Structure 1
């Protein structure tokens, strides 16, 4: 059923492939009517299990055995050539248009895709903080191909074992069915045991998704050497037609965030797909005739290439690069994808499968050579340059270690600081906040060391944690919906401990981007945001509490205003649509609440207008060279801002608030203290 050959060719099954890949394309096109299009992958799983099992059963009937070498060779010739071509394209994507965030992990992602373990790489790597602001990986879609390849590797071996048992029992159908039934039960058990884990573990896991393939295999066993006539064929056709209707509804109504999917729902949908396959495989039924429609059949023939090439093409052809709206852009993306898939099918895939090229030992030489070229390319394009921006994790390590030797501004001490600032007496400065504080701390820490006008041993920044979340708000909606990091619950204690340990003279608080997100009220289940009285009051209380903690040792607390943010910006290119948290009125309200708290606590807290300073620069508040992701300063920008304005401004404000102290000559960069922010 993979085509004319050892098993009968069923056009409707290619048509089903075409429908399934069309659903995936619509889902990735971002259409609201295709929120469940990702289930097209589940349909592929079930269809693959059915087809592969049919091939194995027919081979066992004809030869009394399964030839592993022949089986794996067919899979190799069917899947590897286009996969290598796609990964070569991904390397070119990385060398030309990939964002810094995409390049950061591209090497390991390409290697994982080559090794058919992309799904496990996604599980092991998890979602880093940077992923919240990064463009998707061009190899993201290889997770499903990895699951299928792992299935193709292990499943025929398991079937050989079941066939061996069947020789003793004398009943092939029952023996294989029992074995496959146990495999489905094991997959469901794995899903049950993983309840409470991250849903990505269930979604990407081979163990949890294998039931969808195995149910297709069970269908193949049930239908093998059985020819339904009359009532049986009508029943299969009716079930298939009903399954097609359910599938279309699911593709349009189900959402990836629906909890039931991860509680056995994906396996339940595989039952629907199995019914659809059962109807399609019987010519003459209504569902078989519908799916055998020639355009669908032809799309199904190239569905593997369409799936492979569509994702990097979709990432390449963005609204920003094309200037097109959703509908016209989708048409362009699909046309380019289909063109690439047709070319691959005609010039590469079909000739290799038919052994017109790469016959015999040629394949043994050229396939590894092609894979090596892809690997070398992935390594070369991901070698970081000297001026590469550190990741969040690297930035945190640099700040904790006080290592600013690679600061983009070569010599921060080249411009002597104003002499009057020495009267501040080298105060101890500590910086507290979220990831924006961390990025600012890279530059501010360098200024502290180079100027010798201040010291900085303390500070705490926690990725993903500002004043919110708290016990009442733990789930946010920013660029997607997620739970706040568990570490946020202990931020207050970490700040208090750091204040007690380092006793700074000045505490800088840098927050804002998390406070303007949508937050779910755990009592009502409603989504709320800054600008609503209840949230305004909560943020005001959290700011008051922060000032209490940071001023406990006598430090003066400077509250830095937050500039506007633009979520979804990639390498300075604005997003195709604005997220609610980017609404300027929300950040304006946050800064207003900030000022209210400072005004109510004279002598303890004061506002330092970072947002106003950025507005005064030539590129303005949203200058993409300062904040390429629309939120975080680059190291270069943080260094320039700290040197030109923020560091001296803090000391001037401190002198005005506390008065001059007896001073000695400022320390030089060589003897200056270490970082302004800590772990």
Structure 2
């Protein structure tokens, strides 16, 4: 993402002789001069604004995320021009000074944002997802966040968790990796070969990077490897590098007469960018198989036109106020916007749509301006680190250490109650008489209750208190419902079913034989209402073919659970608020109409098995006002929009649920 290489940006407007060799000072006819280019700030502004609008849920801008690629091209271009200018001016490149400038520009704001996120972690992140935030923070500070996103994998905890408040630092990581490696390559190439050889190598590497993206993209699968990889995204940065090498090697002077028309190449580039922003999303195969490369080339064409014609139409449009002013703080805007947008969601603010976007952008702008004026600019204007001065270095190391400690301490959740949901059954046993559970018509012994279902069932089972006279066994399969076809769309992400999920009936049958339950409690509250590919088409509950499929699976479920004589209790599903779209609206799977359809299907199932199956209205208990509720009667019952809290189960659900299970068994 955006790095402010110079503020205001400066670029060379002369040439670098392509025959530069070690030990040979070449004086081109016109030396490279660094001059202010407001148009580049303007392009930064456009890039960061479309990113903010995209993350704010503006529906007519599905390609707004491409603003990040514009930053990649800009960074590659500006960094390379600075390196070439220094080499032409002095005959060498001082790598230490270069990296110190990057640290002085990037680290203060990053440390501030990461520290703020960690300080607000327990308010911002659900408790069950808190542990992942510490490694996210360390990855952000170490500039390996893009690989952290990949290392988190595609397991259930990742695919069903909310986005990390530091997820956006993946692009910063990619750029910092570039800042570390590219200057070394430039120094080596100019010492051993020439600028022309460096250009050829850059073009070859860019083509290889774009090819790697195309090869690693898998249709109908999560494109994380192609999206986050340093190798697969490097071509954006390398395109900017190549542009800098080309413009620096050509003999030209900026035009003095303002051009009133765009060239055909610039018109084509503008058309490509407009079409990409308005039409492209981030999942289409065309995008990863050449589409992104085309966008990158279009951005490079715009930069080239603005640089070659600083008085031309492109440069003048990009220099229109307030674009240059916004561009100067684009790094801070980008850093703050993502955690702010996550914190200010519709549930916390009561806003949605345009008003939510305005509130988010206003908060982001305030924080960005404060950071820029009182932190970034003063530090950048100083001469830190000066030779022989260690205090600033120690200060930075100390600040980083404090943030690292915070990442380890503030994101450590309370020790969980030991459970083994995917291994042997977890049984909660007590002995002794119980007034609650003593009832006529049943042989002496503890009431045997087995909980079946998905992760919501698991959160219920592990939260039930130890009750004398009862044995509760947890047979929930985390990440699995009874719908076994796949893949599914979960918050717009495509996910294949876990290997065990299609065999849920075999697992449940084993549990019934092992536990011989008096009552089989079933809680299914997510997977049945997701979009699912069935017989080659995406379908969902409410469509006749999919409803018929679910009824077949429900019939199989009842057959398995009643095989040993157990009574079956089906819990209706509550409304969920697991994720929000970028504009604050719900994803389709959290639409109350889908949950209503599923609950009606559960009730219909009891009518076909009136002697063996009954329903408890868990949905109404958790949503007494007919809508999603995080707190009921002053008790936090759900923290992540889906799963149950232990305190909520113990203090609010158990006193209501256990008597109904007793009644079902009798």
* TM-score (norm: length of structure 2): 0.84
Who is 1:116 aligned against?
A: 143
Structure 2 alignment gaps of length 5 or more = 12-32
Who is 2:49 aligned against?
A: 22
Change in Cα spacing, 1:461 to 1:413, as seen in structure 2 (3 Å) is same
SS of match in other structure, 1:507: strand
Whether the aligned pair in 2 keeps the contact of 1:41 and 1:144 (CA below 8 Å) is yes
Change in Cα spacing, 1:641 to 1:620, as seen in structure 2 (3 Å) is farther
Who is 2:357 aligned against?
A: 330
Structure 2: distance between partners of 1:90 and 1:623: 22
**C-alpha deviation, 1:403, in angstroms:** 7.5
**C-alpha deviation, 1:296, in angstroms:** 0.8
Structure 1: distance between partners of 2:217 and 2:503: 25
Change in Cα spacing, 1:418 to 1:551, as seen in structure 2 (3 Å) is closer
**C-alpha deviation, 1:435, in angstroms:** 1.1
1:558-597 superposed matches below 5 A: 558-568=568-578, 576-597=584-605
Deviates more, 1:513-522 or 1:207-216: 513-522
Whether the aligned pair in 1 keeps the contact of 2:489 and 2:531 (CA below 8 Å) is yes
Who is 2:286 aligned against?
A: 260
Whether the aligned pair in 2 keeps the contact of 1:614 and 1:621 (CA below 8 Å) is no
Who is 2:541 aligned against?
A: 530
Change in Cα spacing, 1:312 to 1:587, as seen in structure 2 (3 Å) is closer
Structure 2: distance between partners of 1:404 and 1:454: 6
**C-alpha deviation, 1:547, in angstroms:** 1.9
Who is 2:199 aligned against?
A: 177
1:184-263 superposed matches below 5 A: 184-196=206-218, 198-228=222-252, 237-263=263-289
Deviates more, 1:615-624 or 1:492-501: 615-624
Give the 4+ runs in structure 1 shifted more than 6 A: 229-236, 411-415, 615-621
Deviations 1:277-296 (A, max 9, x none): 11121212211111122311
From 64, 72, 75, the equivalent of 1:45 is 72
Deviations 1:611-657 (A, max 9, x none): 377279899984622233443222233345675343443343233xx
The structure carrying a bigger helix percent of its residues is: 1
SS of match in other structure, 1:564: coil
SS of match in other structure, 2:166: coil
**C-alpha deviation, 1:428, in angstroms:** 4.5
Whether the aligned pair in 2 keeps the contact of 1:507 and 1:555 (CA below 8 Å) is no
Deviates more, 1:366-375 or 1:419-428: 419-428
Work out whether 1:309 is the aligned partner of 2:336.
Answer: yes
Structure 1 alignment gaps of length 5 or more = 167-171, 406-410, 656-679
Who is 1:490 aligned against?
A: 503
Who is 2:20 aligned against?
A: none
Work out whether 1:72 is the aligned partner of 2:80.
Answer: no
Aligned-residue CA RMSD (Å): 3.4
Structure 1: distance between partners of 2:262 and 2:627: 66
Who is 2:366 aligned against?
A: 339
Work out whether 1:275 is the aligned partner of 2:275.
Answer: no
Change in Cα spacing, 1:228 to 1:463, as seen in structure 2 (3 Å) is farther
Change in Cα spacing, 1:175 to 1:88, as seen in structure 2 (3 Å) is same
Change in Cα spacing, 1:578 to 1:354, as seen in structure 2 (3 Å) is closer
Who is 2:391 aligned against?
A: 362
**C-alpha deviation, 1:79, in angstroms:** 1.1
**C-alpha deviation, 1:581, in angstroms:** 3.3
Deviations 1:232-261 (A, max 9, x none): 998985423432342233222211222322
Change in Cα spacing, 1:342 to 1:420, as seen in structure 2 (3 Å) is closer
